Structures are given as C-alpha cells and as structure tokens.
Amino acid sequence: MAINCGIVGLPNVGKSTIFSALTSAPAEAANYPFCTINPNIGIVELPDARLDFLVKTLKPKNKVPTTVEFVDIAGLVKGASKGEGLGNQFLAHIREVGMIAQVVRCFKNDDIIHVNNKIDPVDDMLTINMELAFADLATLEKALERAQRASRVQAKDEQKKALSLIAVLEKIKPLLENGESVRKAGLTDEEKALVYECHFITLKPQLYVCNVDEDGMQNGNEYIDAVRAQAEQEGAKLVVLCGKFEAELADMDSEEEKAAFLAELGLEESALSVLAREAYDLLGLRTFFTAGEIECRAWTIRKGDRAPKAAGVIHSDFERGFIKAEVYSYDDLVSYGSEAEIKAKGRYRVEGKEYIVQDGDIIFFKFNV
C-alpha cells in the first residue's frame, strides 16, 4: 500500500488552500472549477510532542521529525466514474494514494462558487462516495469476468484461486451497486489479499475534513453536525479546520508568532497538525526514535514491523547484520527522567529478531556485517 494521503473533494471546497497551508508548498487556488489538474505533492513534517521532549531532555545538535506525504488531487464531479469533468484523471491519481482525506465545504460565502450552487456537505460527501463506488464497480465487473473465465479453463490450483476470488467479489458487488464502499464488506486479511490487484478505491482508509469559516471554527455550525453524523454512520474520523485561518498561520515567519496567534483563539495547535497525525495513523504508520547527544530522530515504520525491519529503515546494513535491539519506551523516559534510571528500575530491555516494535519505542540497534 502507498504511504501517502490524497486530498480530494468537489471543486472549490478549499482543497488547494488547505494543501498549501499544510505543506507550505504552492498549489494554485482560484474561484472556478478544476483549478487543480495535475496533482500537487508535498511532504509534511509530523508534529510530535515526544520528539520535542527528547530534544528538550537530551539537547542534541540535530532534530529530525518523521514526515507524511500529501497529494492534492483534481476536484471530482457527479459523473466522474463515467469520465465527466476530469473524472478519468482523478480516478487514476486517487488509485495511487494510500488513504483519502475528503474535504467538505461547511461554510457559506456567496463570493465562492459551489459546483452544485448549494451548500449541502452531506450531499457532497455522498456524491463523491457514490462516484468512487461506481468506479470500483466497473473494476469489479472486469475482474469478475476474468475470474469466471479462469475458473473454467485454468489448472486446478488456479481454478481454486479464481473461485475464491469470485466469492469475495460477489460479496462486495451488492455494496458497490448501492453506492457504498468496499470498506463496509469487513474483508479479512486473506480476502483483501485476493482482491489486492483490483486496487479498490473505496477499500482505502478515509477521513473527512470540514472546511469552515472562522465563526464555524470557534462556534461550530449545522454543517459540521451533519458531516459528523454521516461520518459516525460510516465509522470514519473527522477533522474540523478553517482553511483561511490555517493559510494565515502558515504564512507567519516564527513559531513564537504562530503560538501567540493560536493562543489568542484558545488553541494549543493547528488543526492541520491534527490532520497530519490522523493521516499518519490511518495509513498504518508508527514511529520509533533514536536519541543521543548528536541527534534525536523519529523514524517511520508500519504497524507490526519487527525489529530487523525497523533497523533497515535506518540502513540496510542494520537489517542484514541485526544482532539485537536495546529498547525502552518514551513513557518510561517521562516517568523516570533518564536512561540510567530506566535501567535501574529494570525497564531497559534487550529484544531479538521477533520483537514487534511499538509506537514510541526508543531504540539502539546492534549489528555486525
């Protein structure tokens, strides 16, 4: 699975404004549909209070955070699954991302055109979700046809695999025909492996981003309530932010100025920081740390990765010649204050090749090549 997040939505909902603020990368934003044609790509440093604590405690020369990639994808319209608007380009680009952040317009502004000439965020959500489902249905029907042929003419092992695939596709098909997502099928890992080559868009993790005005940011509104109810029904997460506010915040030169600006509104951090962390989590990514006087660094791994694979993120030699991992947790460092005290309390561990690295582990790898 790709490890990036695609920002999608109808035209003129604020995708490109949010992308620019999030990534500090220029993305064209204008008051007309299909402003974004080719996808913009930006790398976002992931805010992490744990890394900040390590830096404050150890005072290293360098601090290196982990990152997540965001892709700003062209706006989608009703009929995209049949090629309307930039539908074919949109669908090709969205198949390449690991998860979807769907931006929904939750504010009124007569000066900003809405592609449907009305503000109805739930209808917008359903429009996109239905188009994605119909695109997946077209993919499914082709895969089903191929699998049915294979079940009749291939060797026994291939026939058995084809029949297993047909069973999963038949399980999914009624959902897509009803405009619902493959996620709702509750596929097992084995079933997901069978349909992997279909690259179903609606199997990707998805969260909703309510783009509000400044009043909505502080007081909420009926649009946010409606989106939240729909998201809860789908079992999806929700982030509320004001694209205009986040853009102004991103333009500020110093971290002190940004912190003061947030404090004026009673906020501890930017909503975009929350969005970045939610995306990182939904992508199934986790963080471990290496820490010392020279450098404190956050490293990205997948949930469930074992120690040698985590070591390989640092350098391939570390994985090839892995001997052991000396590990303690961030929480223990907070509790006991130092590595020496962690050792004194018996919380410093030596782990082997089968150890599954946990989010927040602080690790020193030993290897020999």
Contact 286, 303 (CB under 8 A): yes
* Longest alpha-carbon distance in the chain: 70
Which of 20-29, 225-234, 244-253 comes out lowest in average pLDDT?
20-29
- Tokens found for residue 279: 């995306």
147-151, 212-216, 253-257, 328-332: range with lowest mean pLDDT: 253-257
Is residue 30 pLDDT above 50, yes or no? no
- pLDDT category at 324 given cuts 50, 70, 90 is very high
Specify the amino acid at residue 239.
V
Res. 239 pLDDT band, cuts 50 70 90: very high
Confidence of residue 113 (pLDDT cuts 50, 70, 90): low
Average pLDDT, the chain: 87
Residue 112 has pLDDT above 80, yes or no: no
For range 2-13, the mean pLDDT: 84
Angle 243-250/255-264 helices, nearest 10 degrees? 150
Any idea which of 73-77, 162-166, 242-246, 313-317 has the lowest mean pLDDT?
73-77
Same fold yes or no, 4-281 and 304-367: no
- DSSP bridge pairs for 103: 209
Share of the chain above pLDDT 90, in %: 62
Architecture of domain 4-281: 3-Layer(aba) Sandwich (3.40)
Residues whose CB is less than 8 angstroms from the CB of residue 196 and which lie 6 or more positions away in sequence, other chains included: none
What is the pLDDT, as a whole number, of residue 268?
83
The pLDDT of 219-229, averaged and rounded, is 95
Roughly how many angstroms between the first and final C-alpha of the chain, as a whole number? 30
Reported as a pLDDT band with limits 50, 70 and 90, residue 283 is very high
Q: Is pLDDT above 50 for 80?
A: no
Whole-angstrom distance, CA of residue 350 vs CA of residue 343: 11
CATH code for the structural domain at 304-367: 3.10.20.30
**Rg of the chain over all Cα atoms, to the nearest angstrom:** 23
Q: Which of 290, 279, 296 is nearest to 325 (CA)?
A: 290
Helix (H, G, I), strand (E, B) or coil at 213: coil
Residue ranges covered by each domain of the chain: 4-281, 304-367
pTM of the model: 0.84
